[in-house]
Each structure stands twice: as C-alpha cells, then as structure tokens.
Amino acid sequence: MAEVRKHTYLEEVEPGVYRFADAKQAESRVRRQLAELFRRNLELWKQIRHGDQSLWRETEALIRWLENAQG
C-alpha cells in the first residue's frame, strides 16, 4: 500500500479517498481571481471598443456569477 503524505487540510472520507477541508475557500479564491481577470479584460475591451454592449453586459454578468457562485 502506498504511503500517503498527510496534509492538515486532507480529510479521509473512505479508505484512500480524501476531501480537502479548505476546498470551498480554494474555489472561492479561484473564482475571485478569474472574475478579476475578466474585469481587467472588460476594461480593456471598453477602452479599445472591442466587441459591443451585448458582449460587455454578458461579461459583467459572468463576473457577477464568478464572484457570487458557491463552489
């Protein structure tokens, strides 16, 4: 049997199966980072007039979803 390096954030749910205790925070962090990425791109698109109002509105909705969605 392979030796498993235990991390404090790992919780064994069944033999050999682990969940991450901090998974929700990690997903939330990743979503916030992606939202920020889209926000910066949206700012650029508006500055250089890339796309149209529809694209901008959709991107704004996507940013809100990324910020609010639960993992």
Partner 1 sequence: MKGLGSKEGSALRLGDWLGRALLKWAPKFMERLGRILYEEEISRLRERAVTFLLECLRYELIALNGDLTLADLRTNLMLLRPNGTLQMTYISGDYSLAEKQLEWREGIGCCGMAWARKEPTVTDAQDTERLPPTYREIVKHVKSVISVPVKRVTGDWVGVLNADSTKPLSQSRLDEAELRDVVIRYAVGIGLLF
- Closest contact distance (angstroms) between CB of 68 and partner 1 is 11
- Answer for the pair 23, 10: CB distance below 8 angstroms, yes or no: no
DSSP 7: -
- Closest contact distance (angstroms) between CB of 26 and partner 1 is 6
- Cα(56)–Cα(45) distance, rounded to whole angstroms? 8
Give the footprint of partner 1 on this chain (CB under 8 A).
1-5, 7, 9-10, 13-20, 22-24, 26-27, 29-31, 33-34, 62, 65-66, 69, 71
33/51 with CB nearer partner 1: 33
1/49 with CB nearer partner 1: 1
- Cα(39)–Cα(60) distance, rounded to whole angstroms? 8
29/50 with CB nearer partner 1: 29
- Answer for the pair 38, 59: CB distance below 8 angstroms, yes or no: yes
